[in-house]
Amino acid sequence: MKPYKLIAIQECNEPLLPIPPEKFSFVLPHPYEKLGAPYGEKSPFYLREGVLTCLLTAQESLHEKQPGWRIQIFDAYRPIAVQQFMVEYTFREVAEAQGLSLANLTAAQRQTILEQVYEFWAVPSPDPTTPPPHSTGSAIDLTLVDETGQPVPMGSPIDEMSPRSFPNYFAGSEGPDEQQFHRNRQLLREVMVTTGFEQHPQEWWHFCLGDQMWAWLVNQKNPGMAAIARYGAVA
């Protein structure tokens, strides 16, 4: 179990609200819906009320630093059924990339692949004490687009399962392109963290506010603070 899953949750019952499309850029068609993920009547472009308020502030901060630029939403609210779907989809992708047949996997091979998948994907747990971050409506995957609507280069795509996804992967690079990737990632981090979000240690695109991971990261920065989560899973 990942350490942030041990954080207590005291649900605040804030509603899920739609992210206003006029304020942000959306990745459309939505990548997981396109794969067939079972959202049903739900939408990936929803957040808890307090999280959405902070995201709007982050967009204002970005506009002050880079007029015309917008935060682009890749994914926000994710029902547990969608989390399960994406874990299974990624498992198949990893197995196929390694030339393995799903029907003939050994127990050891299956465990190895699961460990690789769960390094980047949260367990789709139905346990109310250990919800997947996105299923709480308080985690968001995002990037930036410039004044022309073109994606700002970040050096790796969202959801890439490699060390390039680590936020500071390009920090020590000497090449001009790699240095720019790092500056762009730092800009994204700055506008998000200064408005209350915390960044996933291994994903430059993932930010959270009020969930278990957020509380755990806050506590790592402030030993003895004992922050708890205020958002649990939303059905």
Structure tokens at 161: 């399962």
CA-to-CA separations, 88 to 25, 84, 184, 190, in angstroms, rounded: 28, 6, 32, 33
What CATH number is given for 3-80+128-221 in this structure? 3.30.1380.10
Please determine, for residue 160, whether its predicted confidence score (pLDDT) is greater than 90.
yes
Check 33, 160, 178, 203 and give the catalytic one: 203
Structure tokens at 214: 């957020």
Q: Of all residues in the chain, what percent carry a pLDDT higher than 90?
A: 96
Q: Which of 119, 113, 120 minimizes the C-alpha distance to 93? A: 113
User: Cβ-count burial of 100 within 10 angstroms (0-12 exposed, 13-18 middle, 19+ buried)?
Assistant: middle
Neighbours of 114 (CB within 10 A): 15
Per-domain residue ranges for the chain?
3-80+128-221
Residue range 216-223: average pLDDT? 94
Active site residue 33: no
Spatial CB neighbours of 180, under 8 Å, sequence gap ≥ 6: 153
Q: What is the band of 45 on the pLDDT scale with cuts at 50, 70, 90?
A: very high
Q: What are phi and psi of 65, to 5 degrees?
A: -85, -35
Structure tokens at 102: 């799903």
Q: What is the pLDDT of residue 173?
A: 95
Neighbours of 181 (CB within 10 A): 22
Q: What is the pLDDT of residue 187?
A: 98
Residue range 166-178: average pLDDT? 97
Please determine, for residue 224, whether its predicted confidence score (pLDDT) is greater than 90.
no
Residue range 9-17: average pLDDT? 98
Q: How far apart are CA 87 and CA 92, in angstroms?
A: 9
Handedness of CA 208, 212, 213, 219 (dihedral sign): positive
Q: What is the pLDDT of residue 1?
A: 81
Please determine, for residue 235, whether its predicted confidence score (pLDDT) is greater than 90.
no
